[in-house]
Amino acid sequence: MKIGVFVCHCGSNIAGTVDVAKVAEAAKAMPDVAFASDTMYACSEPGQEGIIKAIQEKGLDGAVVASCTPRMHGPTFMRTVARAGLNPYMFEMANIREHVSWIGRNKEANTRKAIDLVKMAVAKLGQNRPLYPKTFAVNKRVLVIGGGVAGIQAALDCAEGGLDVVLVEKTSSIGGKMAKLDKTFPTVDCSSCILGPKMVDVAQHPRITLHASSEVEDVFGYVGNFQVEVRKKAPYVDWKACTGCGACMEKCPAKKSPDPFNELVGRTTAINIPFPQAIPKKASIDPTACIRFKTGKCGVCAKICPTKAIRYDQQDEMVTEEVGAIVAATGYDLMDWTVYGQYGAGRYPDVVTSLQYERMLSASGPTGGHIKRPSDGREPKNVVFIQCVGSRDPSVGRPYCTGFCCMYTAKQAVLTKDHIPDSQSYVFYMDIRAPGKMYDEFTRRAVEEYGTQYVRGRVSMVYPMGDKLVVRGADTLAGTQVEVLADLVVLAVGAEGAKGSPHLAEKLRISYDSYGFFMEGHPKLKPVETNTAGVYLAGCSQGPKDIPTSVAQGSAAAAKVLGLFSKDQLQSDPQVAKVDLKRCVGCMKCALTCPFGAIKELETRGEMKVEVIETVCQGCGICTSTCRQGAIQLQNFTDNQILAEVNALLLTAEEEGA
C-alpha cells in the first residue's frame, strides 16, 4: 500500500507551535508511506489540488491529512480524495491542531505528539477498506414543531414549496409569543394584525395539517424516514363540532382560572378560547379549573353548546406521522425572575414582567389596553423599566445577552407615553444594544421624542414605600446613586429555552446547551442545521431572536428542507455496524444496548442471528464493545483498525524506551 501524508501549517495555528516540516520528514520513514509534504493551508484550493496531484502522480492508495478536527474538514478531504479517484474512506485525519498545537506551547513535545498521531493515522489507514454508501427513498413530508412565528413561516414556506406539512403546537392555538405582543418594534405596528393573516394562511392551506394542543411524544427513524408519535391532548371538546361561537365561555361559572395567555395577569373561564384571533378557534376545558372535573357537578357548557360539542370523557389521542424532515421551532420562555430577591421576587404586585406589561398594553388583554396597577387598579404615572433581568447576569446563571430586551423596553416606554400622556418612564440599562435595521433610530426616538429617561446603571433594590415602590439604583454616568418613586416597575426579563426543550432534544437526538437552547450544527456555517441529519432549527429554540430574525430562520429552515427533498434518493453513511454471521451467536446483547433500535433479529438456516438496519444505525459503536464474540464491527472503526493505531503508538514508546 502506498500512503501519502500531508501536514498542514494552518497558517500559524499549527506551524506556530509544531515543527511541521519535521513531522512530514518523520512521516517519510513510516511504513507504507510513499510521499509526505507540508502545506500552508491543506483545505485551500491549492492545498487540495496538491493532494490530488500527489495521489495521481505517485499512484497513492490512500492519504493522511494532519491538520484540524475531522468535524471541521473531514468531509472536505474525503471529497478531495474522491476527486483524485480513490474511495473517500481511504483517508485518515490526524488532529494536530485541537489535540496538539492549541493546547501546548512546548514545540518539541508538540512535534513529538504530532508525529505519534500521524503514525497512528498511517497505521489505521493501512487497515482501511473502501466503503460504499447505500441509497434509500425519502418521504417528502415535513414536521414543524412549534407554532410561533418561526414555525408558522417554516410551515408556510415548505407548503408553498409543494411539501405536505404537519404542524404540532403545544398550546390550543398557534401564534406563540408574538400573538401575545401588543405592538412590534421598531415600526410600532399591531403585532396580531401582521401575524393574524399568516395564522389564517396556516389554517386554510390545503397542504398543512395542524395539531394544536399536541406534543411530540417520541421520534423514531432517520433522515427521510421519521416516524413521529404525536399526543393530541384531550381538549374535552369535539373540535370537529365546535364552531368557536364562545357561548360556553360566556356562561361558564368557573371564571377565576388563571389565564396563561394573559401571563396570569387576568382571569379566564375554565372552558375558553385563548384569544379572539386564535387558530384553531376552538374551545378547550382546563380540567384543573373546571367545576365539573373537580366536583362532578355543573355541566353548564354542555347544556349551552349549540352544536353539542362538549365531551367530558374525552381521552388523549395518539397519532403517528411519517415525515422525512423535522423543523424544531419551540421558542423560548422567560427566565424565572423570582430568583431576584432584590426586585421583590414576585412578592410585590406592582412589579410585573415585560410580557405581563405587554398584555396590559394590548387592547385584547385583561385590562382592555388600559395600563392599571395590579395592586389597586390605578393608572401609574411613574413607570420604571429595569433591563437585563436575567440577561448578562452570571450570578443567576444567565451570562448571555437576550438581545431583544433593549428594543422591547424602548417600545414599551413609547407605548406608555401614548397610553398615558402625562406619565414619565425611566429605563435603567447597562448598554443599549440596538443593532437591527432602524433599531438605534427607534431607541433615540424613545429618548428624544417621548422623553424617556434613560439611566445607565443597575438597580440594587426595589421596595414598597406606602403605595409606591422605591427603585434604588446607580447612575454610573453621573456617578451617583439615584432613587425613583415608581407607581409601576416593569422588569425586562431575559429569555431561556422553552420549558421541556431538553426532553424534546433527547427525542430528536440533537444537542442543547445549559440554557435549554438547541445547538446548531456549526455556530457560523450551519446555523439552521443540527448534528442530526434531517432535523433543522428555527426561531428562539436556537437562541433568543427578534421577530425578523426568527422569520428569516424559519424561511432558511424551509429552504434546507426543500433542498433535502430535491433529491428522491438519499445516501446513507456506510460507517455503520456490520454483523459477521459466522461468529454471531444470537445472544441479542447488542440489540439490548443499541440506543437507536437499529438491530433486529434475523433467522438464517434455522439459527437466530442479528442484522443491522443500516439506515437507522448511527455508527456509535456501543454494540461492538458489547459483543463478546467480536461478531459485530463498526465499519471504518474495526477492532483491527483500532489495534493498529494502538500498536503504532505503543511500538513507538517501546522504541524510545529502548
Partner 1 sequence: MTGKIRYAYYPGCSGQGTSVEYDTSTRAVCAALDIELVDIPDWNCCGSSPAHTVDHHLSAALSCRNLAQAAQVEGARGVITPCPSCLSNLKTSARRMADPDFAARVNKLLDKPLRHIPPVKSVLQALFEDVGPDALYPRVFKRLEGLKLAPYYGCIMNRPPQIMEFDDHEHPVAMDRLLEAVGATALPFPLKVECCGASYGVARQDIVERLSGRLLDAAAACGADAFVTACPLCQMNLDLRQDQINAANKTGHRIPVFYYTQLLGLALGLDPKALGLDKLAVSPRDVLAAVGVRA
Interface residues with partner 1 (CB under 8 A) are 340-342, 344-345, 347, 461, 463-466
Instruction: Dig out the grid coordinates for 253 from the structure.
Output: 361559572
**Residue 185 or 340: which CB sits closer to partner 1?**
340
Q: Which residues pair with 190 in a beta bridge?
A: 183
Least CB distance from residue 396 to partner 1, whole Å?
A: 11
> Closer CB to partner 1, residue 130 or residue 341?
341
Task: Tell me the backbone φ, ψ of residue 580, rounded to 5 degrees.
Answer: -90, 100
What gap in Å lies between CA 355 and CA 374, rounded to an integer? 14
Percent helix, strand and coil across the chain, each rounded to 5?
30, 25, 45
Closest to 400 measured CA to CA, from 323, 514, 290, 305: 514
Distance CA 339, CA 343 (A): 9
Between 399 and 463, name the residue whose CB sits nearer to partner 1.
463
Instruction: State which amino acid sits at residue 113.
Output: K
Rank residues 103 and 485 by Cβ distance to partner 1 and give the closer one: 485
Min CB(475)–partner 1 separation in Å = 18
Rounded to a whole number of angstroms, the minimum distance from the CB of residue 342 to partner 1 is: 5
Specify the DSSP element, H or E, that contains 113. helix 107-125
For residue 461, the minimal CB distance to partner 1 (Å) is 8
Toward partner 1, which CB reaches closer, 466 or 606? 466
Nearest approach in angstroms of CB 638 to partner 1 is: 49
Return d(Cα 51, Cα 41) in angstroms, integer.
Answer: 11
Closest CA to 122 of 30, 38, 47: 30
For strand 535-537 and strand 495-497, is the pairing parallel, antiparallel, or unpaired?
Answer: unpaired
> Which of residues 377 and 466 has its CB atom nearest to partner 1 in the complex?
466
Distance CA 325, CA 508 (A): 11
Nearer to partner 1, 494 or 516 (CB): 494
Nearer to partner 1, 438 or 461 (CB): 461
Taking the complex as a whole, the smallest distance from the CB of residue 489 to partner 1 amounts, in Å, to 13
429: Cβ contacts below 8 Å, ≥ 6 apart: 387, 388, 406, 409, 454, 455, 456
Residue 528 CA: distances (Å) to CA of 237, 381, 550: 37, 45, 11
CB of 615 to partner 1, least distance (A): 51
CA distances from 225 to 178, 208, 557 (A): 32, 19, 18
CB of 368 to partner 1, least distance (A): 31
* Locus of grid cell 382571569: 267
Q: How far is the CB of 345 from partner 1 (least distance, A)?
A: 6
CB 373 to partner 1: min, Å: 17
Rg over alpha carbons for the chain, rounded to the nearest Å, is 31
CB of 341 to partner 1, least distance (A): 3
Biggest CA-to-CA distance, the chain: 94
Long-range (24+ apart) CB contacts under 8 A made by 206-210 are: 207/159, 207/162, 207/163, 207/164, 207/165, 208/155, 208/156, 208/159, 208/165, 208/166, 208/167, 209/164, 209/165, 209/166, 209/167, 210/147, 210/167, 210/169, 210/174, 210/279, 210/280
From 169, 259, 313, 366, select the one nearest 271 (Cα to Cα): 259
Q: Which of 572, 431, 553, 544 is nearest to 138 (CA)?
A: 572
Distance CA(556)–CA(329), nearest Å, equals 12
CB of 278 to partner 1, least distance (A): 38
Do strands 135-137 and 569-571 pair parallel, antiparallel, or not at all (unpaired)?
Answer: antiparallel
Whether 546 and 403 have beta carbons less than 8 Å apart is answered as yes
Smaller CB separation from partner 1, 342 or 566: 342
Closer of 396 and 649 to partner 1 (Cβ): 396
Residue closer to partner 1, measured from CB, 148 or 344: 344
**For partner 1, which is the closer residue by CB, 369 or 464?**
464
Q: How far is the CB of 474 from partner 1 (least distance, A)?
A: 15
Residue nearer to partner 1 on the CB measure, 342 or 604: 342
In single-letter form, the type of residue at position 295 comes to T
> CB of 467: closest distance to partner 1 in angstroms?
11
The nearest distance, CB 406 to partner 1, in angstroms, is 25
Round to whole Å and give the CA distance between 276 and 556: 30
CA angle 184, 185, 191 (to 5 degrees): 10
Min dist. Cβ of residue 355 to partner 1 (A)? 23
Is the distance from CB of 128 to CB of 90 less than 8 angstroms? yes
CB 181 within 8 A of CB 263: no
Q: Which is nearer to partner 1, 342 or 640 (CB)?
A: 342
CA–CA distance, 152 with 212 (Å, rounded to integer): 13
Helix (H, G, I), strand (E, B) or coil at 299: coil
